[in-house]
Amino acid sequence: MKKMTWTLLIACAVVAALGAGLYIFFFARANPALPADRVRVGPATFTVEIADTMAAQARGLSYRANLADGHGMLFDFGTPGVQSFWMKDMNFPLDMIWIGGGKVLGFEENAPAPASGTPLWKLPIYNSPDGTDQVLEVNAGTVAKDGIKAGDAVAVAGGSRAG
């Protein structure tokens, strides 16, 4: 009986360690370098990383220390709909630009990074307008600074669906 108990405890410890390792490897670190492109949004141009897989989109800009001026992350969903975002594991505030059919549909400005230790269920959810097929995340204050407005044309240099 004692031997079976020890075996069970060791098996549980191995499974827990493996689970923790997989979590750290896949989720508790910033995205590796993603494909990059240039995106023009109205009067502004950004160098962006393209998040077009579920894994890249789930991680987004989480765990990063900052985002350089003039840079961002473009989430490409492939089909239009309501896209939902949260600021889980973010270290700096963002502007989220909602894009549909190659035009700015709207934005969420100055979404704050959560306080350390904020439980997941207390994080606000930011929902895009229906018809959003791409979302561009940039540093907070960029929308106002660059004069981006709803209706502005969006063009991705690499020929993405945005235009």
Give, for all 163 residues of the chain, the pLDDT tens digit.
767 676 766 666 555 555 544 454 454 556 567 889 999 999 999 999 999 999 999 999 999 999 999 999 999 999 999 999 999 999 999 999 999 999 999 999 999 999 988 999 999 999 999 999 999 999 999 999 999 999 999 999 876 555 4
Quick one: which of 53, 70, 138 has its CA closest to 104?
Answer: 138
DSSP 72-124: EEEEEEEEEE--EE--TT-SS-EEEEEEETTEEEEEEEEEPPPPTT--GGGS-
* Region of 70 on the Ramachandran plot (φ > 0 left; ψ -120 to 50 alpha; else beta): left
pTM listed for this prediction: 0.80
Pick the CATH number of 36-156 from 2.170.120.12, 3.30.565.10, 2.60.120.1140, 3.10.20.600: 2.60.120.1140
The residues spanned by each domain of the chain are 1-29, 36-156
